[in-house]
């Protein structure tokens, strides 16, 4: 029977609910909480009685939250965050954060450029703090922050909702990514088309589009203004596939400069200037204003602000 009075509730169950929701399985939640799996399973049974719902249903890959669990998650996480903030008041200058995790929402182009520097910065300045990278973008980032699915976010805007704060990290622009070796005509390695692309050479190539679902991108709009069209030979939803799709081909991808720079630094691909004038866009860091009493979230915000300017600079 559901409890009607908080005095009848073991509040430790809320921590277990959060871990089950975020880890997607009893065994992983047990590892996270340093508990045994039978103890977590027993707690789940009590949670089901408490909320009169199954909360999590078994799948082939673990546990999937029910609609009731999804409704409860932001409320329970907010309550736990308030408790964490109350402890942070007692220890505002914490030097280690063992067991804590902070979730950053960002698209994978930002993760490619900023993920490792943020990790390294936190290893030096916030030992024990784990950062979780979760996919988001400007159209949904406000709801993700409000629903406490993430603690911070890096996006091209989208932080105007009430209760959110934000700061500018930089101004984004675009560059081209290609395989320089495959660009050279056979037997003539002195021809370096990779040193730059004319507009005609750019249009003549096959193009790989990175898009969450559309078939027309910002490049197509800019080409249309010149009365030109490109030939998109493939489309992908994520930037991490580009090294595998571009290597050994004469295809080109036009992507945010920070992502092109990061991919080129780790692969044999080359970043070159885009021959089209494409509009820039703001890059911002956003967070819930109420979260700034949590020292762990503040440390991660400061890490992003410290790492971003150099890595996002044109």
Between CA 274 and CA 284, with CA 279 as vertex, the angle to 5 degrees is 110
Give residue-wise pLDDT tens across range 196-224: 789 999 999 999 999 877 678 899 999 99
Domain 92-172+281-312 has CATH 3.40.190.10: yes
Same fold, 92-172+281-312 and 174-272: yes
Phi, psi (degrees; rounded to nearest 5) at 172? -85, 150
Show the tokens assigned to 90.
């007692």
Domain 6-78: give its CATH architecture: Orthogonal Bundle (1.10)
Q: Are 283 and 308 in contact (CB under 8 A)?
A: yes
State the DSSP H helix or E strand holding residue 133, giving kind and residue range, or none if neither.
strand 130-135
Q: How far is CA 43 from CA 12, 22, 39, 48, 154, in A?
A: 9, 16, 6, 9, 36
Domain ranges of the chain: 6-78, 92-172+281-312, 174-272
Q: Where do we find the tokens 């409890």?
A: 3
Give residue-wise pLDDT tens across range 230-288: 999 999 999 999 999 999 999 999 999 999 999 999 998 999 999 999 999 999 999 99
Q: What is the pTM of this model?
A: 0.74
Query: What CATH fold (topology level) applies to the domain 174-272?
Result: D-Maltodextrin-Binding Protein; domain 2 (3.40.190)
């Amino acid at each position: 029977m559901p409890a009607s009075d908080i005095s009848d509730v073991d509040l430790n169950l809320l921590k277990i609910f959060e871990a089950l929701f975020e880890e997607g399985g009893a065994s992983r939640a047990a590892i996270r909480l340093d508990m045994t799996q039978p103890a977590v399973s027993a707690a789940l049974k009590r949670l089901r009685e408490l909320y009169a719902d199954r909360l999590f249903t078994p799948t082939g890959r673990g546990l999937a939250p029910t609609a009731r669990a999804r409704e409860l998650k932001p409320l329970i996480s907010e309550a736990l965050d308030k408790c964490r903030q109350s402890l942070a008041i007692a220890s505002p200058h914490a030097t280690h954060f063992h067991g804590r995790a902070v979730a950053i929402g960002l698209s994978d182009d930002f993760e490619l450029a900023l993920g490792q520097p943020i990790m390294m910065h936190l290893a030096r300045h916030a030992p024990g703090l784990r950062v979780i990278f979760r996919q988001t973008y400007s159209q949904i980032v406000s709801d993700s922050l409000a629903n406490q699915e993430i603690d911070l976010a890096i996006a091209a805007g989208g932080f105007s909702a009430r209760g959110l704060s934000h700061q500018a990290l930089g101004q984004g622009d675009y560059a081209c990514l290609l395989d320089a070796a495959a660009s050279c005509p056979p037997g003539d390695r002195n021809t370096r088309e990779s040193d730059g692309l004319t507009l005609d050479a750019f249009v003549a190539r096959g193009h790989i589009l990175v898009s969450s679902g559309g078939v027309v991108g910002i490049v197509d709009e800019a080409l249309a203004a010149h009365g030109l069209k490109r030939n998109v030979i493939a489309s992908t939803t994520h930037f991490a596939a580009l090294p595998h799709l571009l290597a050994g081909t004469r295809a080109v991808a036009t992507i945010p400069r920070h992502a092109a720079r990061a991919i080129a630094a780790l692969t044999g691909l080359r970043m070159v200037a885009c021959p089209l004038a494409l509009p820039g866009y703001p890059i911002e860091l956003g967070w819930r204003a109420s979260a700034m009493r949590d020292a762990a979230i503040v440390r991660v915000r400061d890490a992003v602000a410290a790492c971003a300017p150099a890595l996002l600079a044109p």
